[in-house]
Amino acid sequence: LSIGQQIMLVLTLMVTSKGIAGVPGVSFVVLLATLGSVGIPLEGLAFIAGVDRIMDMARTALNVIGNALAVL
């Protein structure tokens, strides 16, 4: 990826990640749409799909722990 595509990818992911924190399992859909918009082949996402469910559970647990600690 060129530097312009990398910057566009980072900005797009920053904007889209703000709304997905409370929705479980949606990170893969956002990643699919974002990578498609910058021209990265979507066939590589098959590797991510196999482990995304486990990673999503870990992200959710970390989010819940972070929210609980923020209250303290």
| Whether the Cβ atoms of residue 30 and residue 19 lie closer than 8 Å to each other | no
Whole-number Å distance between alpha carbons of 58 and 72: 22
pLDDT of residue 11: 85
- Domain ranges within the chain, ordered by starting residue: 3-71
Tokens of 18: 């703000």
Q: Collect the ranges in the chain with pLDDT lower than 50.
A: none
| Whether the Cβ atoms of residue 27 and residue 59 lie closer than 8 Å to each other | yes
Place of tokens 């956002």: 30
pLDDT of residue 4: 86
pLDDT of residue 21: 66
| Whether the Cβ atoms of residue 30 and residue 17 lie closer than 8 Å to each other | yes
